[in-house]
Structure 1
Amino acid sequence: MTDPDVVIAGRYRVVRSLGAGGMGRVWLARDEVLHRDVAVKEVLLPRWLAADEQEELRRRTLREARAAARLSHPSVIRIYNIEYDGERHWIVMEYVRSRSLLQVLRDHGALPVDDVAGIGLAVLSALDAANRVGVLHRDVKPSNVLIADDGRVVLTDFGSALLDENAGAITHSGVIVGTPQYIAPERARTGISTPESDLWSLGATLYHAVEGRGPYARPTIMETLVALANERPDAMTRAGPLRPVIEGLLRKDPRARLTPSEVERQLARIAEGPTVRLSGAAGRGWRPRRWQGLAAAATAALMVSAVALAADADDGRGRTPPAVTAPTGTGGMAETEQSRLPAGYRWWYDPTGMRVAYPAGWEMLREGSDAMLFRSPDDRRTLRVRTGEDPNAPRGYRLVRETATETDYVFEGASGPMRGRDLVVDAPGRSYLVQWRTPQADWQASLPSLDVITQSFRPAGG
């Protein structure tokens, strides 16, 4: 759905898009019955998945809604309704004018200690409320913490929530739910979630907020996971009085971590001004002093869940460099290289030095430890870049053309015939697969974009 003024379920009139992620797109809409603004999450199932995989993700999304709907708390996004139009589900939620903590950190850098303590108290309060009804979040991180225009701190995206109702963990073959820097060591090792693992993720989020980076900032996901298993968090230089509480939350043994009441006491001593308590109204009237006067400039944002690893690239990968001047450490990218791209394209770069151009406005989704997916806003075209070969042939695969480095093929997509091209690029020590897929009817029209992408690709060291 892309046209404005569409009415969902005869009630919610769409105004505009708010954002998108791995499993859905969020729209600002007007509830014409209650006369209020709402956020409506349009559940989008990846078209390249088989029917049984799509059904699993559909069940997971509805489980998300049921989990979040059980919560009534000022620091948790409220779920109002679930609608189904015969083709897809819509989740109707509270609309919060806000920016994510991740965006605030990107815009303003590391935050003052007392502001971080206040944020921590609000998130802790939300987690405590969730635990009281048997809900675990499983994906606490800066992109899932919203800083509202009115000063509220809101924990959103219970898409990875796990209900203690014998429902079992929500898993998917080959997919890690969560972002490595914010996953507790025991979760990365066993896949089992507990309230203590959510507390570890809170500690990693507070670390990022006060230090300006995650506790295990490594160039690759694999290096992050190895460090998570074997090393202590990186040394803190800005945390000051927050250091003991963060260290207490990031203990590898979950039995040795600080309890929620201990965390509350320590954060409350650090935070200044009106703060929250586990028994109080979280975030009421509280706004970090650093952001006073910025509310009018804050954009509306509602972060939605990613199927795989953080589409928002919390681990420092996948950020778009500014036009013309590239930041340092971009694998040797020349300062004017962005300006050489055709209009409408941006660079995606990997800390190892690999980079490729992609169409501006496309979503970026991390897939496992070795692939990045770029997806058009209408979900019709995809670009995937991965190391090594693709182990999965799509449904109905049929070869069209094959050379030493390129393979063209057609296959059956969820919405009709699709066509793809796989380009293999060999580099010292590794090979890359650049994969382009589009509806078969759009193949010829898509070739100019494919040419820009393939000509832009540079392997690490290239």
Structure 2
Amino acid sequence: MSGGRLANRYALLRPLGSGGMGRVWLARDEMLDREVAVKELTLPEHLAPRERHEAVTRAVREAQATAQLRHPGIVALHDVIVEHDRPWLVMELLRGRDLGALVAAQGPLPPAQVARIGAETLDALSAAHARGLQHRDVKPGNVFLTDSGRVVLTDFGIARQEGQATLTEQGLMIGSPGFIAPERLEGHPGGPASDLWSLAATLFLAAEGSPVYDGPVAERIKNTLTRPPRPARGPLGLLLAAMLARDPAARPDAATALHALRRLAAGQNPELPRGHDATVPTRRKGGSRVWIWIAAAAAVLLVAGVGGFFLLRPGENAPPSAYNVPLDLCKLLTPEEVGTLLDTRQAPAVKPSADEVGPKCGWTTPGAGVGLQVQKDSDTPDPWRMTPVTAGRLLTNQERYWNRSEKLQWTWPEIGVKQSLPANRGAIRKVTAPGEGGFAFELSGKTGRIHSSFVLFRTANLVVQVEYTTINNKPTDVEIRNTAQKAAQLVEQGLRRAS
């Protein structure tokens, strides 16, 4: 398509590279008389017209999120165009070479230079994470070193807006073997800590001249999932080991890693906090899924140049890594679902409210009700600003709180319990679903009969509490417990739909 034009403004001059996510062109912006880079995003050929339209819409939305980023370490996105039935991203043109090409030409780089590149890249990543955007393909080929000395993180084309599904998430996982964090290979959506792992793998290659995990694709995937990374030498060794911890929660946070990288760049001791100075990556739970990825590696499509690889992923509609946009909680359950839970033909009107813990919704009939609340800790203004780490901590604290409280007072005027009544809390039960797991418990009255069942679970950065209560005589204890569990599962499905 050399010689073609886009939006009657951008003249495509010649291809600069191509890969799994499309082709990059050298182009001229005739309106502003400047050279730009234009990325042509290609879509899978098998997509039906409706799926293609949805994919294009999603790609434009992701580009709009990326365009909001303003940072010297992030390639600037000037424009997004939809022509020829696909999206085109107009970006600033960078002159120089990527980190992978530099290491291939010069071999391992000095530790201080690697640390400076890492610090500037992490500063850019942190700016993206602060806007709820993950990169998901940090690798040497996407860290660009300009002739003027800038370190620029490129190719946000597969980035993910927290709380949103992405262009490449329709049953696919994308990234580059050897630079994908273990949790993403296991099928989890990952989060900012996953980008940190990928950055550490990138810096490892820059410091050592070879990747953490090498070999054929299947071997890289298998070793990432089952073997600890080999240690890097020199002053970067301890920091990279900490950043490459198998468990995301064991990795240093971005601020700690950035401080350490800046000190290393200045030739100083990194001053890792206690607990990170001798990190030994351990195998993550859920390793039983490893065989899925190793078997699927035979179907991997490797593409040279720009882009990464696609890997079939078990299941669809994976939960997003974070919900950072307020959702209408009262729409997470459909009227039909509420009617089924409360055993009524016509679902009752929903009653939204809020307290210091977070927003909540209630659906009530005489004698029964379903309640939903998304919670936050006392240090966070609203639940949408929680992170997966703080949400996990909140869930743990909630379990400790309920474990201490065996005799309670409860009331629910909307279902007919207008005066506070004593209740006994049953044993705390661990649950593995919905979400990333949580716990449940029941409340019973003076007769010992259960009247309320609670399920608290974490999904991404949210802690959700679902309650089913009935003072009617018909449901059994088991039925009450099962109804609460079903309600929690429906709420999680509603969250996925809302994302």
Q: 1:36 aligns with which of 34, 37, 41?
A: 34
Q: 1:191 aligns with which of 168, 176, 188?
A: 188
What is the deviation of 1:213? 1.6
Tell me which residue corresponds to 2:25. 27
CA distance in 1: counterparts of 2:168 and 2:82, whole angstroms: 24
What is the deviation of 1:89? 2.6
CA distance in 2: counterparts of 1:200 and 1:364, whole angstroms: 19
Q: Tell me if structure 1 keeps the 8 A contact 2:243–2:252.
A: yes
CA distance in 2: counterparts of 1:234 and 1:19, whole angstroms: 32
Query: Within the alignment, does 1:265 sit opposite 2:259 as a pair?
Result: yes
Tell me which residue corresponds to 2:206. 209
Tell me which residue corresponds to 1:233. 229
Query: Within the alignment, does 1:248 sit opposite 2:246 as a pair?
Result: no
* Secondary structure at the counterpart of residue 192 of structure 1: coil
| Identity fraction in percent | 43
What is the deviation of 1:367? 5.2
* Secondary structure at the counterpart of residue 25 of structure 1: strand
RMSD: 2.5
Relative contact order, higher structure (CA 8 A, sep 6+): 1
What is the deviation of 1:225? 2.2
Give the residue type in structure 1 aligned to 2:135: H
Q: Tell me if structure 1 keeps the 8 A contact 2:174–2:308.
A: no
What is the deviation of 1:139? 1.0
Q: 2:141 aligns with which of 140, 143, 147?
A: 143
* Secondary structure at the counterpart of residue 116 of structure 2: helix
1:425-452 deviation digits (Å, cap 9, x = unpaired): xxxxxxxxxxxxxxxxxxxxxxxxxxxx
1:369-414 deviation digits (Å, cap 9, x = unpaired): 9xxxxxxxxxxxxxxxxxxxxxxxxxxxxxxxxxxxxxxxxxxxxx
Q: 2:73 aligns with which of 68, 72, 75?
A: 75
Q: Which residues of 2 match residues 38-437 of structure 1 at below 5 A? A: 38-47=36-45, 49-51=47-49, 54-55=52-53, 57-85=55-83, 87-164=85-162, 166-168=163-165, 171-172=168-169, 175-217=172-214, 219-236=215-232, 239-272=233-266, 311-312=303-304, 366=309, 368=311
**Runs in 1 of length 4+ with deviation above 6 angstroms?**
none
What is the deviation of 1:103? 1.4
Mark the runs of 5 or more structure 2 residues left unpaired by the alignment: 268-299, 313-499
CA distance in 1: counterparts of 2:136 and 2:310, whole angstroms: 18
CA distance in 2: counterparts of 1:364 and 1:171, whole angstroms: 12
1:79-129 deviation digits (Å, cap 9, x = unpaired): 111123353332111111121111112222221111111110111011110
Seen in structure 2, the aligned counterparts of structure 1 residues 267 and 310 have a Cα distance that, compared at 3 Å, is farther
* Secondary structure at the counterpart of residue 212 of structure 2: coil
CA distance in 2: counterparts of 1:221 and 1:232, whole angstroms: 17
1:244-263 deviation digits (Å, cap 9, x = unpaired): 11011001111111122221
What is the deviation of 1:55? 4.2
* Secondary structure at the counterpart of residue 245 of structure 1: helix
Q: Tell me if structure 2 keeps the 8 A contact 1:248–1:258.
A: yes
CA distance in 1: counterparts of 2:109 and 2:302, whole angstroms: 22
Deviation larger for 18-27 or 248-257: 18-27
CA distance in 1: counterparts of 2:194 and 2:262, whole angstroms: 22
Q: Tell me if structure 1 keeps the 8 A contact 2:42–2:86.
A: yes
Q: Tell me if structure 2 keeps the 8 A contact 1:67–1:161.
A: no
Q: Which residues of 2 match residues 11-26 of structure 1 at below 5 A? A: 11-26=9-24
Give the residue type in structure 2 aligned to 1:197: S
* Secondary structure at the counterpart of residue 174 of structure 2: coil
Q: Tell me if structure 2 keeps the 8 A contact 1:178–1:310.
A: no
Seen in structure 2, the aligned counterparts of structure 1 residues 129 and 7 have a Cα distance that, compared at 3 Å, is same
What is the deviation of 1:46? 4.1
What is the deviation of 1:50? 4.8
The TM-score with structure 2 as length reference comes to: 0.52
CA distance in 2: counterparts of 1:209 and 1:131, whole angstroms: 24
What is the deviation of 1:138? 1.0
What is the deviation of 1:226? 2.2
CA distance in 2: counterparts of 1:144 and 1:211, whole angstroms: 18
What is the deviation of 1:77? 0.8
Greater Rg over alpha carbons, structure: 2
The TM-score with structure 1 as length reference comes to: 0.56
What is the deviation of 1:272? 4.2
CA distance in 2: counterparts of 1:264 and 1:31, whole angstroms: 37
* Secondary structure at the counterpart of residue 75 of structure 2: coil
**Larger proportion of helix:** 2
